Amino acid sequence: MENCILKVALDTPLDFCFDYVWAVEESTVRPLAGQLVLVPFGRREVVGLIVAVHETSEVPLDKLKQAIAVRTQLTPLSAEWIALCTFAADYYQRPLGEVAIPGLPKNLRALKTTSLDKAIKKLGKAGAVHDATPIAMPQLNPAQQEAADAIASATGFAPTLLYGVTGSGKTEVYLQAAAQILAHSSDEHNPAQILILVPEINLTPQLEANVRARFPDVAIATLHSGLAEGERMMHWLAAHLGQARIILGTRLAILSSLPHLKLIIVDEEHDPSYKQQEGLRYSARDLAVWRAHQLNIPIVLGSATPSLETWHHAQSGRYRKLELRERAVRDAVLPKVGLIDLERKAPREQMTEGVSATLIAALKLRMERGEQSLLFLNRRGYAPVIACDSCRWISNCTRCSAFLVLHKLDKRLRCHHCGYEQRIPRSCPTCGNVDLQPLGRGTQRVEENLQAIFPEARILRIDADSTRRKGSAQAAFDTVHRGEVDILIGTQMVAKGHDFQNLTLVGVMNPDTALFSHDYRASERLFAQLMQVAGRAGRVAQKEGGSASEVLIQTRYSQHPLYAAVRTHDYDTFASELLEERQQACFPPFMYQALLRAEAKELKIALDFLHQAIDCVEHGGITMNDPIPMTMTRVANVDRAQLLVECASRPALQAFLKVWIATLREMKSRVRWSLEVDPVDI
Ligand code: ADP
Ligand code: ZN
Ligand code: ZN
């Protein structure tokens, strides 16, 4: 054999592999599938992935270019890993290279190999040593023990829903199941790796500290978007080379190379953050299930409020359901949930800047007792809009169908969609009125108001604005854990996962808007969010002379069935009812969907393109809905429209999408379009 042909996946929008020649005679290197390779592409040189090595090509040999160099330093990526990327590419209708390549650390994709050669040497020497104070595993309660044993002893593909109320000690179950699996595979011939996914980057330090303390002798890798390139490379390599036994990460970690993967855990599996919302719009949870299936290993999906998809599978018996009904810490109980009825006539609720007298009294009580409170408001900034009373001018973003949000602290108006910002105008740009009014409330305003009400209180706001600097979120949470905060104000960032020890009150400011959203998933999400944020309270037993833990929700719709379910912590009934509604309305999980989006300078062009898209293929058996403008139609001077396609059969939808997308690609329209499979925001 003189030459061989490398089938190479490249990070380009072109949906095929490229053939390159490798002159075998001239080199001692025999390229293998799974190796990275440097190749010429147009006028550039790029790094691609060898997907297969063939003897011949359909392209005449003299038309093919020579590959430049094979990255032999790196152990080839496994066939399983390539299969995972291939599946994701097929399922989400993207080119393989766009799935496989961008997820690799930058240094691996770099043209020069110096940093790679360095990193590999360093890893060889250092392993992944760390210094944590070891902590013994606590004694599990019987329900936890049963769950941990069931997970650790499962063989083959065994999807399990770990359905446990907030504070029931799910993390402990994961860790002890992991310990059992690691103990069984301690010999070098049968090593095990365990992947633990968490939804929020801010939850990784807490979990990491926990895991390090429990497994002082085990190498751990973390993978999330907050790592510097060098760190990311080390962690990725430790996982790829099989050195790291426990891998913690956010959604992107699902695409990492894990040659000895034996167990996958998806914590808070219902969380929307598992869905990537741009580029390759994958669901890390769904890919995790596929990966477990492909490897024939167990997977645990943990949640207090499982997604309806997962709940449906558990009800139908496809997934096993393990339950933890009680909080793990002795005598800790779920908080009492109360509604503050803002519509009540007598006695009418006295409001101070959006905070009710009842809530203020509850906050005051906590302050007096030295306990912490959390106020949850899912809207950052000072006020969502400023307006002029005399001419009705309102702070619209000129580039988006959105308001400019008032950020009082840095004296700016900001669009949260396109990033546009300007100084706060001194007077109305239309009529000159100097008395511009902020309308509505964001976290900054609530912070300011509460400080006025409680001048002595130590108030801390945690949201995307207050935690922009690297490490600042962690520092903020540490302050809370050290007890240096009386009242914590925050967005959904603070609602998830955190184990606050001295928090006995959660106030929810204005959740009502989500009750009447056009998005049929809004109530599922609101319910999960309320249960999650409620779950931050009462995580330890009530202290003597201390307060019982309590959640107070301010609402104008106190009779709404969703709140009734939140009050009784009754996810089962709520989920069953929602599932029934979904079935009747033919919504997911009883229907499979894909969303084609189009963007253009004018709405009409985008809509025309979508109409064309309907007409360009045969679509029997597939429901093609009418193209419509997106709810947020204009973003950054671009109009956006969408077309929802549906089918009761996933394979039928997949088969259709394949043909459809190929046809759309050939249309070579100048309209920018993208496809989302299993969309969540529609
Ligand atoms: P979840 O993830 O289910 O909300 P966590 O895993 O955060 O709950 O556990 C809640 C708290 O209970 C933590 O402080 C944890 O240390 C504690 N805990 C868990 N299991 C036990 C146990 N068996 N005995 C005592 N404390 C426990
Ligand atoms: Zn005006
Ligand atoms: Zn904008």
ipTM: 0.97
> Domain residue spans in the chain?
3-78+86-102, 142-324, 336-383+440-579, 592-677
Element (H, E) at 401: none
pLDDT of residue 220: 95
- For the record, the structure tokens of 513 come out as 């808007």
pTM of the model: 0.94
Q: Is 4 annotated as a binding residue?
A: no
Q: Is 391 annotated as a binding residue?
A: yes
Among all bound ligands, the one having the nearest atom to the CA of 420 is 3
CB distance 602 to 638 below 8 Å: no
- For the record, the structure tokens of 344 come out as 């009540």
**Which fold, 336-383+440-579?**
Rossmann fold (3.40.50)
- Any idea of the CA torsion for 414, 420, 423, 428, to the nearest 10 degrees? -80
Burial 61-85, CB ≥16 within 10 A → b, else e: eeebeebeebbbebbbbbebbbebb
Q: How many degrees, rounded to 5, is the angle at CA 460 between CA 459 and CA 463?
A: 145
CB distance 350 to 342 below 8 Å: no
State whether the Cα torsion 200-201-206-210 is positive or negative.
Answer: positive
- Percentage of the chain exceeding pLDDT 70: 98
Burial 552-581, CB ≥16 within 10 A → b, else e: bbbbebbebebbebbbebebeebbeebbee
Nearest C-alpha neighbor of 417 from the set 409, 407, 405: 405
pLDDT of residue 681: 80
Nearest C-alpha neighbor of 138 from the set 185, 172, 99: 172
Per the prediction, the chain carries an average pLDDT of 93
Q: Which residues contact 524 (CB under 8 A, 6 or more apart)?
A: 307, 308, 578
Q: Which CATH architecture has domain 3-78+86-102?
A: 3-Layer(aba) Sandwich (3.40)
pLDDT tens readout for residues 229-266:
889 999 999 999 999 999 999 999 999 999 999 999 99
pLDDT of residue 132: 65
Q: C-alpha 403: how far from its chain's center?
A: 26
Element (H, E) at 574: helix 571-585
Same fold across 142-324 and 336-383+440-579? yes
How far is it, in rounded angstroms, from Cα 674 to Cα 664? 10
Q: Which CATH architecture has domain 142-324?
A: 3-Layer(aba) Sandwich (3.40)
Coil vs helix vs strand at 537:
coil
pLDDT tens readout for residues 267-313:
999 999 999 998 899 999 999 999 999 999 999 999 999 999 999 99
Q: Which residues contact 294 (CB under 8 A, 6 or more apart)?
A: 80, 83, 84, 87
pLDDT of residue 308: 95
Among all bound ligands, the one having the nearest atom to the CA of 405 is 3
**Which fold, 592-677?**
Alpha-Beta Plaits (3.30.70)
**How far is the centre of ligand 3, averaged over its atoms, from the C-alpha of 416 (Å)?**
7
Strand partners, 324: 164
Confidence band for 112, pLDDT divided at 50, 70 and 90: confident
Residue 380 pLDDT > 70:
yes
pLDDT of residue 391: 96
Q: Is 415 annotated as a binding residue?
A: yes
Q: Is 536 in the pocket of ligand 1 (CB under 6 A)?
A: no
pLDDT of residue 127: 47
Q: What is the DSSP string of 172-189?
A: HHHHHHHHHHHHHT-STT
Residue 483 pLDDT > 80:
yes
**How far is the centre of ligand 3, averaged over its atoms, from the C-alpha of 518 (Å)?**
22
User: Per this entry, what is the length of the chain?
Assistant: 682
- For the record, the structure tokens of 132 come out as 């944590």
Place of tokens 């976290």: 443
If you ran DSSP here, which 8-state letter would residue 136 be given? P
pLDDT of residue 129: 47
**How far is the centre of ligand 2, averaged over its atoms, from the C-alpha of 395 (Å)?**
11
Atom of ligand 1 nearest to the CA of 267: 2
